[in-house]
Amino acid sequence: MIKETYLNTFVLSLFILIPLWAYLADEPFTITLMTRAVIFALAAVGLNLALGIGGLVSLGHAVFFGLGGYAMGVLAHHAQTFTAVAEWPFLIEGTKSMPVIWLVAVVISSLAALLIGILSLRTTGVYFIMITLAFGQMFFFFSISWSEYGGEDGLSIYVRNSFPGLNTLDPIQFYGLCFAILCVVLFMMARLFKSPFGLALNAARQTPERVETVGLNATRLKLVAFVVSGAVTGLAGALFADLNRFVSPTMFSWQLSGEIIVFVIIGGVGRLFGPVVGAGVFVALEHFLGGLSEFWHIYLGALLLAIVLFGRGGVIGILSGREKIHD
Amino acid sequence: MPIVLIAEQVLNGLQFGIMLFLMAAGLTLIFGVMGLINLAHGSLYMVGAFAAAAVAGWTGSFFLALLAALIAAACAGAIVEIVVIRRLYDRDHLDQVLATFALILIFSEGTRWIFGSFPLFLDIPDYLAGPVTLPGGIQYPLYRITLIAAGLLVASGLGLMIAKTRIGIQIRAGENDREMIAALGVDISKLYTLVFALGAALAGLAGALVGTIQSVEVGMGEPVLILAFVVIVIGGIGSIKGALIGSILVGLTDTLGGVFLPQFFQLFMEPASATSIGSSLASMAIYILMSVILIWRPTGLFGSRP
Amino acid sequence: MTDLVLETQGISKAFGALEANKDISVDLAAGEIHAIIGPNGAGKSTLIAQVCGAQQPDKGRVRFLGEDVTDLPVRGRAKKGLGRTFQISALAMEDTVLQNVVLGAMGASSTVWHFIKPALADQVLVDRAELALERVGLSDVRSQRTAELSHGQRRQLEVAIALTLQPKAFIMDEPMAGLGSEGSKQLTRFLDELRNEAPILLVEHDMDAVFALADRISVLVYGEIIATGTVEEIRRNKDVQRAYLGEAE
């Protein structure tokens, strides 16, 4: 068994060394693949809070990913066409500035998570799963019918948005930016997991009646977790849109919601680095298996089935055993 | 607005709702009896549609195509239950979601591998083609009327089966108390396989019937699956009656909303933005319906209160 | 009766045709242990659930510290100072013993909305939790995973979590169940002292413990209180002997 902290350090160093190698060897495609992995990891880190710690099986997290994506798409679209997003009640201009776009993405996805959370948390268990899935579908169809922003065809953004002091068009610099964000969010999550809030949320998953009996509101704990979770996944969506310079309704699709769960599960649910490992493995499989066979999803499905049926705890669970008690 | 148009759209909504019911009934039965959330139910719908399209292509017989859909979906359901699903009954919902998500990937890619990515088409047989005139002078396609009738027939058959037959009694007992029926000497694993195959057959039938109005393609099952989830949430999990009423409610809301909301907004807006807002709103109408029902009754119209 | 801490006023609860509680009025005065006994299925759990707020009575009121709390949820009553232990342990099994007790301490100190500082670095919380663990004698296993505890230790942990809330009244649902004779004796001594801090409404099957501890006993049979009185009065009561003790002994 490998100690989990060693494993985490190893994973982090892979995320530094591989792009560094690719940069020196002039392999921009590898850097782009790694950027994809980092962004998926960020989306899954968001979900992991709700799913792994809070026990909320959200099958609609693509909503936040998509909202983050469209926040970028809409703002940048207006900036590149020199039109206003809205003129009433006050003038809102488009922007090509990443920090502003991220802020908008985070705010909008938090608000959506708040609304969806309030409604969905009236229920539990299988109802919750079905309802989050249904809300995902609602946003999907809405984006398709929203012809102002490309409808089914989506929106293309010609030039990647800017970040002060960086050339974001350079793959390694954009990678560095995304990786830095992932590290900051991971650090915050690490603190959050151990904080009183994290402890209470963890208990609310295991035994909600106990949490209520000591005078805490289990539903409210879960709601806050859901909102933070949505915000992080929304931020990932904005980055993903910038990576591809393209947004479309597929960012809202239920398959994507399923895949974000898959990232968390492959890596190890409720583990800090589970989503990072999972997203890395997924992108690697997608690249290598996808190169071997057009039908690589069959193998992905078989692998997933095997992990669910036999290898509980994901990659981290298999490699470093049950979670060490941090005392 | 002409009454004929309204009647036609109501019938369309009814037909859509009845097809949703065939999906939702299986889902709700499987959840009620085995406590399993099955995302792969949409794949069984797809299997039915493909089996029907293939057999219709070979033999040219619509009846044989329907039969093939039923058999193929039931067999696929039974095999999946024996190989994978029965290992999931004692697992939590997350594992069930993941495993059945994995099954979707396998089914979808497998079907793409066998049949290719191009959609197939199933033709309406001649004896069911063309319109009929309904009382009140409404012209309506005979095939869609047949769908409504067939769906209602299946619904009442299902209702009778659950209320009157031995299997139905076992199913109802299984919903209430698993230990009880095991104690009564019912072979529970056989019963579960049977219920799953029955649900699968209903989904396959729906896939084949709808396959003649839409194209038969990979990924056709999941949108219907999610609508069926909405139906179940509205009707209450485990309730066949809830599934029927929920289906019709969703079918009508979706169909009527899509047609009439844009027209409604045209009453006080310019046509272009009325169409855009109306159709956007229509695409969300059933989810808004679901939210309202949830706020009112968190466990659905006929779900058991906690 | 000015020193009544907790009181139910004619509460009734039916599940379909089954009347689980019929017009039950029990009360708890400062400094006492009031035991509720009765055969299985008599409605004790239903009564506890209504006192704690997990279920709403169909009829009747629940008063706590002179206030009507009938419409308050579980957490509202907990905040007012109602501490309970569960018959079937409700513990975070994956967490450590200390973490479980810290959770209780958090409920009492409204630090739950702290997101940055680790819970186990908050000295106020940890001190309070450690104190509770020491009192029930679980200090040695503080770092163990809760799932590894013995059945008896889990019962003690239940009590420790309730202690961290510094409640004004305790509701204990069969705390002795499965403890073994030595464990029951220890817990009996502990509860005997505890009553001076806060009165205890005690549902218990262990008759030795009940007779040793209770200031008053109420007997619940088929959803109704058939008698309330001191240990001696209950022992002598003919109805009780017929309905309950007669069968048991």
Q: Are residues C69 and C175 in the same domain?
A: yes
Split at pLDDT 50, 70, 90, the class of A219 is very high
Q: Are residues C28 and C139 in the same domain?
A: no
Locate all alpha helices (DSSP H) within B40-141, ordered by sequence: 41-59, 62-83, 93-115
**Assigned domain for C188 exists:** yes
Q: For A179-213, write each residue's pLDDT tens digit.
A: 999 999 999 999 999 999 999 999 999 999 999 99
pLDDT reading at A324 higher than 60: no
Residues of C with CB under 8 A from a CB of A: 52, 54, 73-76, 78-79, 84, 86, 90-96, 98-100, 102-104, 106-108, 111-120, 122, 125, 143, 145, 161, 164-165
Q: If you ran DSSP here, which 8-state letter would residue B125 be given? A: P
Closest CA to C228 of C238, C215, C219, C239: C219
Neighbouring CB atoms inside 10 A of C145's CB total 17
Paired tokens of B303: 């779900």
What is the rounded distance in angstroms from the CA atom of residue C167 to the CA atom of residue C210?
Answer: 21
Q: Are residues C1 and C105 in the same domain?
A: no
Q: Are residues C131 and C14 in the same domain?
A: no
Q: Are residues C159 and C177 in the same domain?
A: no
The CATH code that applies to domain B9-122+138-296 is: 1.10.3470
**Inter-chain touch A302–B31, beta carbons under 8 Å:** no
Q: Of B76 and B186, which is predicted with more confidence?
A: B76
Strand pairing category for C82-85 and C169-173: parallel
Q: If you ran DSSP here, which 8-state letter would residue B175 be given? A: H
Q: What are phi and psi of C215, to 5 degrees?
A: -80, -40
HSE, CB side, 13 Å, CA atoms: give it for residue B161.
Answer: 13
Strand pairing category for C200-203 and C33-37: parallel
pLDDT at res. C77: 94
Tell which of C114, C132, C166 closes a domain: C166
- Three-state DSSP class for B282? helix
pLDDT reading at C246 higher than 60: no
Q: Are residues C171 and C245 in the same domain?
A: yes
Split at pLDDT 50, 70, 90, the class of A326 is very low
B109-137: average pLDDT = 86
Q: For B192-207, write each residue's pLDDT tens digit.
A: 999 999 999 999 999 9
Closest CA to A304 of B158, B103, C1, C43: B103
Please say whether the beta carbons of A137 and B229 come within 8 A. no
What is the rounded distance in angstroms from the CA atom of residue A220 to the CA atom of residue C52?
Answer: 20
Q: Is A150 left (phi over 0), alpha (psi -120 to 50) or beta?
A: left
Size of the A and B interface in Cβ pairs below 8 Å: 121
Q: Are residues C216 and C119 in the same domain?
A: no
pLDDT reading at C249 higher than 70: no
Q: Of C110 and A225, which is predicted with more confidence?
A: A225
pLDDT at res. B204: 96
**Inter-chain touch A305–B99, beta carbons under 8 Å:** yes
**Inter-chain touch C75–A217, beta carbons under 8 Å:** yes
Residues 6+ positions from A154 with CB-CB distance below 8 Å: A73, A246, A247, A248, A249, A250
Q: Of A84 and A58, which is predicted with more confidence?
A: A58
Closest CA to B173 of B3, B32, B1, B19: B32
pLDDT at res. A327: 41
B100-114: average pLDDT = 94
User: In chain B, what percentage of residues exceed pLDDT 90?
Assistant: 50
* Lowest-confidence segment of B269-273, C160-164, C198-202 by average pLDDT: B269-273
pLDDT reading at C163 higher than 50: yes
Greatest pairwise CA separation for chain B in angstroms:
68
Split at pLDDT 50, 70, 90, the class of A40 is very high
Number of domains chain C is built from: 2
Shortest alpha-carbon distance between residue A140 and chain B (Å)? 9
Cβ contacts of A144 on chain B, cutoff 8 Å: 283
pLDDT reading at A247 higher than 70: yes
A106-122: average pLDDT = 96
User: In chain C, what percentage of residues exceed pLDDT 70?
Assistant: 97
Split at pLDDT 50, 70, 90, the class of C2 is low
Residues 6+ positions from A293 with CB-CB distance below 8 Å: A299
Q: Are residues C71 and C172 in the same domain?
A: yes
What is the CATH classification number for the domain harbouring C211? Answer: 3.40.50.300
Chains touching chain C at 3 or more Cβ pairs under 8 angstroms? Answer: A
Q: Are residues C154 and C172 in the same domain?
A: no
Please say whether the beta carbons of C240 and C219 come within 8 A. yes
Q: What are phi and psi of C4, to 5 degrees?
A: -70, 125
pLDDT at res. B279: 82
pLDDT reading at C193 higher than 70: yes
Split at pLDDT 50, 70, 90, the class of B24 is very high
pLDDT reading at C247 higher than 70: no
B221-230: average pLDDT = 92
Strand pairing category for C33-37 and C59-64: unpaired
**Assigned domain for C86 exists:** no
Q: For C72-103, write each residue's pLDDT tens digit.
A: 999 999 999 999 999 888 899 999 999 999 99
Residue C110 structural domain = 91-166
Tell which of C107, C136, C166 closes a domain: C166
pLDDT reading at A325 higher than 70: no
Tell which of C132, C166, C200 closes a domain: C166
Please say whether the beta carbons of C83 and C165 come within 8 A. yes
**Inter-chain touch C112–A203, beta carbons under 8 Å:** no
pLDDT at res. B128: 85
Q: For A275-305, write each residue's pLDDT tens digit.
A: 999 999 999 999 999 888 888 999 999 989 9
**Can you give the length of chain B in residues?**
306
Q: Residue A241, Cα to own-chain centre: how many angstroms?
A: 12
Residue recorded with tokens 């010609």: A158
Residue recorded with tokens 């027939």: B153
Chains C and A touch (3+ CB pairs under 8 A): yes
Provide the β-strand partners of residue C173: C203
pLDDT reading at A255 higher than 90: yes
Cβ contacts of A323 on chain C, cutoff 8 Å: 94
- In the sheet with C224-229, reading across from the earlier edge strand, the strands are C82-85, C169-173, C200-203, C33-37, C216-221, C224-229
Q: Are residues C113 and C153 in the same domain?
A: yes
pLDDT at res. A318: 84
Could you tell me the sign of the dihedral formed by the alpha carbons of C49, C55, C61, C65, in that order?
positive
| Buried-state track C166-188, b at ≥16 Cβ within 10 A, e below 16 | ebbbbbbbbbbbebeeebbebbb
**Inter-chain touch A134–B229, beta carbons under 8 Å:** yes
What is the rounded distance in angstroms from the CA atom of residue C96 to the CA atom of residue C85?
Answer: 18
Residue recorded with tokens 């619940």: C220
What is the rounded distance in angstroms from the CA atom of residue A183 to the CA atom of residue C67?
Answer: 51
What is the rounded distance in angstroms from the CA atom of residue C172 to the CA atom of residue A113?
Answer: 39
Helix-, strand-, coil-residue percentages of chain A, each rounded to 5: 75, 5, 20
Whole-number Cα distances in Å, B267 to B262, B273, C167: 9, 12, 63
pLDDT at res. A323: 64
Q: What are phi and psi of A214, to 5 degrees?
A: -90, 10
What is the rounded distance in angstroms from the CA atom of residue B113 to the CA atom of residue A151?
Answer: 30
Residue recorded with tokens 């409210």: A220
- Predicted ipTM? 0.89
Q: Among all residues of chain B, which has the CA nearest to that of A310?
A: B87
Cβ contacts of A146 on chain B, cutoff 8 Å: 276, 280
Neighbouring CB atoms inside 10 A of C244's CB total 21
Size of the A and C interface in Cβ pairs below 8 Å: 110
Structural domains of chain A, ranges and CATH numbers in brackets: 4-320 (1.10.3470)
Q: For A146-183, write each residue's pLDDT tens digit.
A: 888 888 899 999 999 999 999 999 999 999 999 999 99
| Buried-state track B12-41, b at ≥16 Cβ within 10 A, e below 16 | bbbbbbbbbbbbbbbbbbbbbbbbbbbbbb
pLDDT at res. B305: 54
Q: For B142-163, write each residue's pLDDT tens digit.
A: 999 999 999 999 989 988 888 8
Split at pLDDT 50, 70, 90, the class of B68 is very high
Residues 6+ positions from C153 with CB-CB distance below 8 Å: C138, C141
What is the rounded distance in angstroms from the CA atom of residue A283 to the CA atom of residue A19?
Answer: 14
pLDDT at res. B178: 66
Mean pLDDT of chain A: 93
**Inter-chain touch B98–A146, beta carbons under 8 Å:** no
